[in-house]
Structure 1
Amino acid sequence: MANADHTSHPAPAERREGSRFIPLGPASQHCKLSRDATLYLNTNAPANALYDAAECRLKSVIELLSALHLGHSEHQSLSGVSRSLLLLVSDAQSLYQADHEQRGRRR
């Protein structure tokens, strides 16, 4: 099970009030410090685009897990597979949260 810190979102101070772009979670960054972030999420992107991007990542996780279950990935290291899953799920969580927040602002 992934450490909760890996999929947590930036603290409000790290989001910079009014900033259009926020760093993806630490699991996507390969670092824990938001000042070192290299991957960002556009919070002004249309809600459908955020949802679609999250959905694409979750489908990728499902395909990877299906391949593992069927034994097609025997040569991949467990560490590499778990890292791929962590990146995809962390990104999906960030995208779903941004989608949810954007829909809330429109109400």
Structure 2
Amino acid sequence: MANTDHTSPSSPAERREGGTFIPLGPASQHSKLPRDATLYLNPNAPANALYDAAEYRLKSLIDLLTTLELAELTALPNHNLLQLSRSLLLLASDAQSLYQANQQQRARGQ
């Protein structure tokens, strides 16, 4: 998460209000290198907030897959299929990262 004055720290973890933000999974990033991560989550958020965010992404993924099931995919150019695959991967990866953070939060008893 960038600071409003655009002076983001170079570290992949960032301090905000006493919490450490961690990068989402590699599939959600523009780069596989942790130091180049651009999307973060707060693993110290309440477990129900992490779970709800994961569920929202999972529901979006299911809605997209349901729509695609009704589409005539043979009419789509290959680049459209690649774009759809990337979108599905991003949603699934984000949901997985959030579910993992939720599970860690619950294991800590918070």
- Structures share a fold, TM > 0.5? yes
Structure whose alpha-carbon radius of gyration is higher: 2
* Residue 56 of structure 1, CA deviation: 0.6
List structure 1 runs of 4+ shifted beyond 2 angstroms: 72-76
Contact 2:30 2:38 in 1 (8 A): no
Please state whether the residue corresponding to 1:20 is helix, strand or coil.
Answer: strand
Mapped partners of 1:52, 1:78: distance in 2: 29
Please state whether the residue corresponding to 2:32 is helix, strand or coil.
Answer: coil
Supply the RMSD in Å over aligned alpha carbons.
2.3
- Among 92, 95, 99, the alignment partner of 1:92 is 95
Q: Does residue 66 of structure 2 align to residue 63 of structure 1?
A: no
Question: 1:71-86 alignment to 2 at 5 Å?
Answer: 71=71, 75=76, 77-86=80-89
Which residue matches 1:9? none
* Residue 71 of structure 1, CA deviation: 1.1
How many aligned residue pairs are there? 93
Q: Which amino acid aligns with 1:55?
A: E
Residue identity (%) = 66
Mapped partners of 2:54, 2:37: distance in 1: 19
Higher helix share: 1
Mapped partners of 1:83, 1:37: distance in 2: 17
Q: Which amino acid aligns with 2:85?
A: S
Which residue matches 2:104? 101
Listed one character per residue, the Cα deviations across residues 2-45 of structure 1 (whole Å, up to 9, x for unaligned) are: xxxxxxxxxxxx779xx621111111112110000011110111
Mapped partners of 1:15, 1:100: distance in 2: 20
Task: Structure 1: state its 5+ residue gaps.
Answer: 1-13
